[in-house]
Amino acid sequence: MMEESFGRVDRIEVFILRVPLNFPFETSFGVQKEKEALIVRVDAGGVIGWGECVATYAPLFNYETTKTALHVIKEFLAPSLAKADTLAGVFSGFQLVRGHLMAKAALENALLDVLARQKGISLSVLLGGEKKTRIPSGISIGIAKDIPALIRTIEDALTKRYHRVKLKIKKGMDIAILEAVRDWFPHIPLTVDANANYTPSDEGLIGTMDGFNLAMIEQPYTYDDLYQHSLLQRKLSTSICLDESIKTIDDARTAMALGSCRIINIKQGRVGGLVNSRAIAEYVTKAGGSVWSGGMLETGLGRAVNLQLQTLPGFDAPGDTAETARFYREDIVEPSAALDTEGYIAVPPGVGIGVTVLEKRLQTFAIHHEVLFGIG
């Protein structure tokens, strides 16, 4: 795959979309009422491929934003594609740019889509995925200020047969919420995600969470820490899951060696794309850890990519790929990710990423459109 030619890149277009969410989604670093999404279209070898950059409008999850991603793609990454016709060549050029993994992932996704479409196969097959036709879906619920409303949301999720419930938490909005949820739902698969809101001084508070029979506690400490997490994991029976702290396979190696976590949430955009995701998953599972696929409020385009990723070996736990309709009234692709009656979402069956981008819908939501190079 790495040495196969996808042909000359003839054109790259970018769109920045602003898509309203169905409801405000709150995490420890803020509230989102809309999704600002950077979409990349690449024409190469007579085929069109698509990618979605998972960066957000502000540098809150990490330092990248849609605007920095556009700048890096336009000024540095896209020009390097004119000199490469294989993924190996692309990655070699990308190495000259430090960081900016979300920007790199968007282009890599589009090029992999091109390559899979040229071969007439799915992205899953191209990556070496297993023959999975559907993926168990988990639901991520924003920080709850109204516990009765939270209980109703969980009840609805269980009615729809979601396979796991994840609650966003932060200091002051944690233990009381867990007590209420466990009182109503003593046995459901439950996780919490702090998005780096706690510090080592909160060790006792986090230790209290051990009593709630959680599947994992996700990213309790700061976004770039591995060492303090290793000290915390030794004192908890509950598994720590790292998200923001894992950006490269070297981070994963260090985390596993230190015992910083037992589980890693692989967001393909955060780690630079699908090829890096596959390498991290292979390493972590061989080292005795577990992996699963998280989400970044992607449109249906990014959700399709995440579903293809979850066909790879090791991705056995329910991911955060909820159905698109939970977050968006209108999608930019068809078919949209939709739950079946057993809480699974079908892996898009077509070639490439498996979905069709609705270009008129892109124009509806676009606040910026630019041809980086190419005819017209």
DSSP count for the chain of H helices, then E strands: 13, 15
74 labelled catalytic:
no
Cα separation, 243 vs 195, in Å, equals 8
Catalytic residue among 168, 170, 235, 286: 168
Cα separation, 280 vs 193, in Å, equals 21
Q: Which helix (H) or strand (E) holds 11?
A: strand 9-27
Burial of 72 (0-12, 13-18, 19+ CB in 10 A): buried
171 labelled catalytic:
no
Cα separation, 28 vs 197, in Å, equals 6
Cα separation values, 189 from 125, 154, 261, 271, 363, Å? 30, 11, 19, 27, 40
Catalytic residue among 104, 267, 286, 360: 267
Q: Terminus-to-terminus CA distance in the chain, angstroms?
A: 31
At which residue do the structure tokens 């994992």 appear?
216
Active-site residue numbers? 168, 267
